[in-house]
Structure 1
Amino acid sequence: MRIRQLQYFLVVAEEQSFTRAAARVHIRQSPLSRAIKELEDELGVQLFVRDKGRIRLTWPGEVFRDDARRLLSFLNSVRARTKAAKYGFRGHLRIALTDGLAQPRMTELLAKCREEEPLTDVRVFEMTVGEMVQALKFDQIDAGFTVHAGYQIEILIKDQVWTDRLVFAVPTRHPLLARDKLSLEEAVQHPLIICHPERCEGGYDVIHRLFRNEGLEPVVAQYVSGHELMMMFVAAGYGIGLALESQVALYCHPSVIIRSIQKEIAEAPTFLIRSNRTASPELERFLLRAKKIGGTTK
Structure 2
Amino acid sequence: MHEATSRSTLKLAVAPGVPSSHLSALLARQRAEEPDVALAFFEVAGDVLLQGLLEGRFDIGVSLQDASDPALKSQPLWIEDMAVAIAPRFHLLDQAKLTIADLQDHTIYRWQAEACPLLDESLISLMPVDRENVQRVPSFEMMALWVAAGYGVGLSAQSRIDHAHGWGFTMRPLADGPFKVVTYLQRPYAQVDSVIERFEQRALQVAGTGSAW
Tell me the number of residue pairs that the alignment of Structure 1 and Structure 2 aligns: 201
- With structure 1 as the length reference, what TM-score do the two structures score? 0.61
Q: 1:133 aligns with which of 44, 50, 53?
A: 50
Aligned to 2:4: none
Normalising by structure 2, we get a TM-score of: 0.84
Coordinate RMSD, CA, aligned? 2.4
Paired residues of 1:144 and 1:272 also in contact (CA < 8 A) = yes
Residue 25 of structure 1 aligns with which residue? none
Q: Which residue of 2 aligns with 1:180?
A: 96
Q: What do the CA deviations read for 1:23-58 (whole angstroms, capped 9, x no partner)? A: xxxxxxxxxxxxxxxxxxxxxxxxxxxxxxxxxxxx
Q: Matches of residues 29-40 of structure 1 in structure 2 within 5 Å?
A: none
Cα distance change, pair 220–148 in 1 and its aligned pair in 2 (3 A): farther
Shift of 1:247: 2.1
Of 231-240 and 178-187, the range deviating more from structure 2: 231-240
State the partner residue of 1:67.
none
Gaps of 5+ in 2: 1-6
Alignment partner of 1:195 out of 111, 121, 126: 111
Structure 1 residue 276 displacement after superposition: 2.0
Task: Output the CA distance in 2 between the equivalents of 1:209 and 1:185.
Answer: 14
Partner of 1:212: 121
Q: What is the letter of the counterpart of residue 25 of structure 2? A: E
1:295 is aligned to 2:208: yes
- Partner residue in 2 for 1:222: 135
CA deviations over 1:226-280 (Å, ceiling 9, x no partner)? 2222212211223211111222233333531111112351533210111222232
CA contact (8 A) 1:163 1:270 kept: yes
Gaps of 5+ in 1: 1-89
CA distance in 2, matches of 1:157, 1:258: 34
Helix, strand or coil at the partner of 2:166: coil
Which residue does the alignment assign to 1:258?
A: 171
Q: What residue number does 2:60 align with? A: 143
Partner of 2:204, secondary structure, is helix
| Aligned CA distance change for structure 1 residues 278 and 284 (closer, same or farther; 3 Å) | same
Where is the helix percentage greater, Structure 1 or Structure 2? Answer: 1
Residues 162/188 of structure 1: CA separation in 2 closer, same or farther (3 Å cut):
same
> 1:269 and 1:102 mapped to 2: Cα distance?
10
RCO greater where, 1 or 2, for CA within 8 Å and sep 6 or more? Answer: 2
1:163 aligns with 2:79: yes
1:193/1:222 contact within 8 Å kept: yes
Identity %: 26
